[in-house]
Structure 1
Amino acid sequence: MTDQQQPLPTASGEFGDKPALTFPDTPAPADLAVQVLSRGDGELVEAGDDIEVNYYGQVWGGRMFDNSYDRGSSISFPIGVGAVIGGWDEGLVGQQVGSRVLLSIPPHLGYGERGMPQAGIGGTDTLVFVVDVKGTSRR
């Protein structure tokens, strides 16, 4: 799942701060890459939980396409059950509440060949997210 040989973007800020990403001069990893930027000490996220997160999303080497920090409110959704893109399901299950996690998500675990044109995401775009895991609850 994680290829630590491939350089990943670096993220500024601490848990709760809107990050800024700095990208390496290398291609995006072909597989899902998960890097815990800071580990929390809360409950482990399990498949089927509802999790609450803040997130920042940017196309690899491109522009930011969405983030919850500017809206001033987190989002909640079921995780590990196919309700969100595969890279989130695979990369966030098993993380601890209070963690800041960087996800590099290849197209096949993101929005696939169609991309999401309304968000400016192409079918070959690798997505990079910084996710602050704020909470989890069992369904």
Structure 2
Amino acid sequence: MISEQISLDLLRTYVAVCRQGSLSRVAAQTGRTQSALSMQMRRLEGLLKRHLFQRTGRGVVPTAEGELFLGYATRILALSDEAVACLRQTEISGGVRIGSRRGGRHCGAPGSARAASSCLSRHQPRRGGRAQCLSGTALE
């Protein structure tokens, strides 16, 4: 399966090459040789059976398929970073009450207590905490 053969390191290198537009620049930044990076990028193209770069006299630019894959690679890396950050967070427990003096119809608006409560519940679902939204007269 292709996904088992494409490591996060390979994706990070691909994204860096696309953003820098130069194998030699990325090689210098990562402490690798240009030939090693070139082999990695050829291996990635071989796994995907697609040309991801157009070589120019000044470096490389992603092809249309390379741009498409760049979007996926960026999202995969962001999701991986988010998962690691989430699992490394300090656990919280107990309840959290978030209040707003704005009443009913405003409670779901961005920046409202309900939106904050929803965000907390999404990002801390298994921490044993409970989020509750209070508004208007319930605060008094």
Q: TM-score range with shorter-chain normalisation?
A: under 0.3
**Larger relative strand fraction:** 1
**Larger relative helix fraction:** 2
Of the two, which has the highest radius of gyration?
Answer: 2
TM-score (norm 2): 0.22
